A and B are shown apart, each in its own frame.
Chain A
Amino acid sequence: GQQLNQSPQSMFIQEGEDVSMNCTSSSIFNTWLWYKQDPGEGPVLLIALYKAGELTSNGRLTAQFGITRKDSFLNISASIPSDVGIYFCAGQDFGNEKLTFGTGTRLTIIP
């Protein structure tokens, strides 16, 4: 099945650093979502974006809905140990129940 392209695939950073990741699609979506998944758990919703160009924050997390509707970006400022995990983007169309997920970005914090 289709998966969105996320980059980078993995990141190794030090605590306190800022993080940027993105997600691209060959098709347009009307909703973009960002989820975080910890080992042994299901994805947890971080941010939902509903309008092209929209910039939304949730604490240290900021996400943007690309103006072309084919991409989205997630930034994490001043990373902390609990930010470790896998981040997934997901796109959804109006009237379409399913979410199409990205390939994931694995974030690791180096001591």
Chain B
Amino acid sequence: DAGVTQSPTHLIKTRGQQVTLRCSPKSGHDTVSWYQQALGQGPQFIFQYYEEEERQRGNFPDRFSGHQFPNYSSELNVNALWLGDSALYLCASSLGPFGSYNSPLHFGNGTRLTVT
């Protein structure tokens, strides 16, 4: 039973560039959430995708955008990268958009993004 898989595992980009991160949810899950985890801090919610639509968004600028595909996989895009975007980007999946009660979030191992 494959868990949540993310690619790439590490990425180095230059300030101003654009980046795309990818996520495949755990088998049987249809909802994907993205979180940003800065060094030494807890994850911060970016947004959630369900039925190929963004359902809820955290306090992140429009430079952060996403997409969900018919097979439930998802992409996170960040444009015009800032140094402060350097972080571990975590993808989490669940069955249904409200997670927890019926289906707690399962996290992938993340993509470590470094912006220089």
Contact = CB atoms under 8 A, between A and B. Distances in A.
Interface in A50-74: 50
B90 A1 contact: no
A92 interface: yes
B40 to A, nearest CB: 8
A97 B98 contact: yes
Contact of A96 (B40, B56, B110): B56
**Chain A: interface size category:** 20 to 34
Contacts of A41: 109-110
A95 interface: yes
Interface stretch (B69-77, B79-87, B100-108): B100-108
Given A42-B109, A43-B107, A1 B101 contact: no
Interface of B: 4, 31, 33, 35, 40-45, 48, 55-56, 58-59, 90, 92, 97-101, 104-110
A7 interface: no
30 contacts: A1-B44, A1-B58, A3-B41, A3-B42, A3-B44, A4-B42, A31-B101, A33-B100, A35-B107, A41-B110, A42-B90, A42-B92, A42-B110, A43-B107, A45-B104, A45-B105, A45-B106, A48-B100, A50-B101, A88-B42, A92-B99, A95-B98, A97-B31, A97-B33, A97-B98, A99-B43, A99-B45, A99-B100, A99-B105, A104-B40
Contacts of A100: 45
A104 B30 CA distance: 28
Pick from B40, B43, B48, B110 the residue with the most CB of A within 10 Å. B43
A110 B80 CA distance: 44
